[in-house]
């Protein structure tokens, strides 16, 4: 299950355990959502139980951010693959 977040709203992530259940969870951060994966962010994405965390590399570069180690910067083409590879996509 893929969770898509396009804003820097850590409170939106509190719904992930309820919505995701026992399914594998991936998080894709786009637009301002990439702020949640920056070094020094108050949110511990690894503690939320995501199997993979991705961030739009263009959004990261545009904002001049350094990502935490658990987050992979991905291209637009890879974002398309990630979305298509998941049976369910939830925009939170």
How many CB atoms are located within 10 Å of the residue 87 CB?
7
Q: What are 19-35's pLDDT values in tens digits?
A: 877 778 999 999 999 99
Confidence check: pLDDT of 41 > 80? no
Say what the pLDDT of residue 86 is: 95
Q: Is the pTM of this model over 0.85?
A: yes
Q: Can you tell me the mean pLDDT for 9-26?
A: 86
The pLDDT of residue 70 is: 87
Indicate the pairing of strand 89-91 with strand 26-29: unpaired
Is pLDDT at 5 greater than 70 in this prediction? yes
Q: Measured on CA atoms in the order 67, 9, 59, 5, is the torsion positive or negative?
A: positive
Per-residue pLDDT tens digits for 44-76: 777 788 999 999 999 999 999 999 888 999 999
Q: Which CATH architecture has domain 2-91?
A: 3-Layer(aba) Sandwich (3.40)
Joined together, the tokens standing for residue 19 give: 């919505």
Q: Where are the domains of the chain?
A: 2-91
């Amino acid at each position: 299950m893929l969770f898509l977040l396009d804003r820097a709203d850590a409170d939106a992530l509190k719904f992930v355990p309820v919505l995701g259940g026992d399914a594998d969870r991936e998080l894709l951060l786009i637009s301002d959502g990439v702020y949640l994966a920056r070094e020094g962010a108050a949110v511990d994405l690894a503690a939320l139980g995501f199997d993979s965390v991705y961030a739009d590399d263009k959004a990261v570069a545009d904002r001049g951010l350094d990502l935490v180690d658990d987050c992979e910067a991905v291209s637009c083409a890879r974002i398309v693959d990630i979305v298509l590879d998941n049976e369910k996509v939830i925009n939170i």
